[in-house]
A and B are shown apart, each in its own frame.
Chain A
Amino acid sequence: MNEFLVLFIFLMIITILAWMGRYRLSSWLFIIFLIAASIVFFQQMTSHVNIQL
């Protein structure tokens, strides 16, 4: 699965929600987004040790 595509689409939804006035929801979703991005980063760190070498 393309996790980056999911992250971009997720952030796009959060941005639209924030602009529509759903402040609380978008704030919580942004925290979830940051956690998800961190998980993807750790997955990149551990599974692709020789990435780009």
Chain B
Amino acid sequence: MNYQIAKWARFLNIIDLLGICFILLLAFVLQIALNELPCPLCLLQRVGILGIGFGFLLNIHYQIKARHYAFSLLASIFTGFVAMRQIVLHIIPGTGSYGAPFLGLHLYTWDFILAIACILYTTFMLCISGQYGEGYIVKKSPKWMKSLGHFAFLCFLAVLLLNVISTFLECGIKACPDNPIMYHITLWKVI
């Protein structure tokens, strides 16, 4: 185990988690700005992306382990399958699409690209042997990195909470409609 490699691998994990939070926040911005409600498969893709973040979260809070990368890898494969399923639904010309495109591609296509990128990245990170080992203790890391780790955790938790609230407002406690057009619960009704 190399202390410097472990330190920078941990830093990369923090950046990855913040990146995951940023992507999901971007999805929220588009949801609110364009008034596009996430479909069931879109919600499942969000579940998968959050699952990817959980593996990184374990690497940040505990020692870096291959098992944590495996969690992210499994969640990436899951996200890729869900995104691919949605691409396949609209693959035949004339079958339409779901939502407005973002930078020329639909969000589910971006999600598929993200999943493939995560699979490649996590596999690469998994191969760096210097980051593993019993000797490295998280407490040894610099203070700024600990603070950044806590910040990343809070961001992740906030994004999760936002998803809980958004899904509840969209569908309530009943099953989500296949093609949602309006919120099940509107805030002005609650207030």
A residues neighboring B (CB under 8 Å): 1-5, 7-9, 11-12, 14-16, 18-19, 23, 26-27, 30, 33-34, 37-38, 40-41, 44-45, 48, 51-53
Contacts and interface: CB of A to CB of B under 8 A. Distances in A.
Given A37-B51, A40-B44, A41-B81, A8 B164 contact: yes
Interface stretch (B115-123, B139-147, B153-161): B153-161
A4 B39 CA distance: 11
Contact of A51 (B40, B62, B168, B172): B40
A37 B44 contact: yes
B161 A12 contact: yes
Contacts, number: 109
> Which of B86, B173, B178 lies at the interface centre, i.e. has the most chain A CB atoms within 10 A of its CB?
B178
Main secondary structure of the interface of B (DSSP, over half): helix
B89 A52 contact: yes
A15 B157 contact: yes
Given A5-B171, A37-B48, A52 B41 contact: yes
B51 A5 contact: no
A41 B78 contact: yes
Interface residues of B, number: 45
B75 A51 contact: no
Contacts of B157: 12, 15-16
B58 interface: yes
Q: Which of B47, B71, B178 has the most CB of A within 10 A?
A: B47
Contacts of A7: 47
Given A2-B172, A5-B168, A30-B71, A14 B96 contact: no
Candidate in A15, A33, A38 with the most chain B CB atoms within 10 angstroms: A15
Contacts of A23: 58, 62
B105 interface: no
Nearest to A5: B167
Nearest to A12: B160
B175 A1 contact: yes
A8 B47 contact: yes
A52 B171 contact: no
Interface string B42-60: 0110011011001001100
